[in-house]
Amino acid sequence: MSQNNALDYYGKLGNWSFDEFGIRTESLTSWVLNELINKFADSKSRILDLGTGGGEKLLESYPDCEEILGTDFSPEMIVTARRNLQLSVRKNISFKVMDNLRMDVPENHFDIVVARHTITDPNQIIKCLKPGGHLLIRGVDKYDCWSLKLLFGRGQAYRDEVPVSIRDYEAVLGAGFSEVELVPIHEREFFSDADAFRAFLEKVPVINVCDEDRSLEEDKLREYIEANTFDGQIRLLRNYYGIAAKRPVR
């Protein structure tokens, strides 16, 4: 999936958020991004949130601190984020459009950089962190929704020879970060009905990735729903990864 194609994809979708799907999540592993953010942050911290989308996660769960900047390469998403900010009571938060591969932020400025489900360049990130600052990445791995991808014969990272988690891990190490940890994250997501599940697949590029223009094959969708319905809810197995690292003090 190229960044330009992703920009076109989300631009066409317009204003939406994951909240509209009513997903219930069960965590099967203990690596929790928000807990790490709150662990490392204090009232004087400056946080950069890359790939902020509509800013919902940032506004709901990030701690109060000196500065939080949320960025996204989609202008439509930043419009949504600023609208959400106006509806909140949060302070010291701003949003701007930025390409993660052409970062336009001060050097040696942030205490924490967070990247959730977005492309990153650790060589640029390490420059904007203060010495001793933390990088936290949560990403989607190749085997996310794997049984669904196998059924459809396609999907995000379906044909990648090397999982993106390994590529990101090696890139973070190569950029000079220390104390680098790579952790698998497993979750179960439950959807209330077929309509919610279909809406999710139509908007989130799990099966129909940004470079493709395909409709969902109804026979395969029904087959998956029939095999993965438990207590009236449709289950989707998610496979993410977490990376935690520090910029060396010297």
- Whether the pLDDT of residue 13 is over 50: the answer is no
Average pLDDT over residues 187-205: 92
- Whether the pLDDT of residue 213 is over 70: the answer is no
What tens digit of pLDDT does each residue of 86-107 get? 999 899 999 999 999 999 999 9
- Whose tokens are 């052409």? That residue is 102
- Whether the pLDDT of residue 1 is over 50: the answer is no
DSSP bridge pairs for 36: none
> Which residue segment(s) compose the domain that 45 sits in?
3-246
Is the CB of residue 69 less than 8 Å from the CB of residue 41? no
pLDDT bracket for residue 205 (50, 70, 90): confident
Phi/psi at 198 (5° precision): -65, -45
Q: What is the largest CA-CA distance in the chain?
A: 58
Query: Rounded CA gap, 190 and 77, in Å?
Result: 25
Q: Regarding predicted confidence, which is higher, 142 or 212?
A: 142
What tens digit of pLDDT does each residue of 163-194 get? 999 999 999 999 999 999 999 999 999 999 99
- Whether the pLDDT of residue 9 is over 50: the answer is no
- Whether the pLDDT of residue 41 is over 60: the answer is yes
Tokens of 237: 């197995």
**Domains: count for the chain:** 1
pLDDT bracket for residue 143 (50, 70, 90): very high
Average pLDDT over residues 28-55: 96
Average pLDDT over residues 10-19: 54
Kindly report the CATH number assigned to the domain that includes residue 40: 3.40.50.150
Tokens of 15: 């204003």
pTM, entire model = 0.88
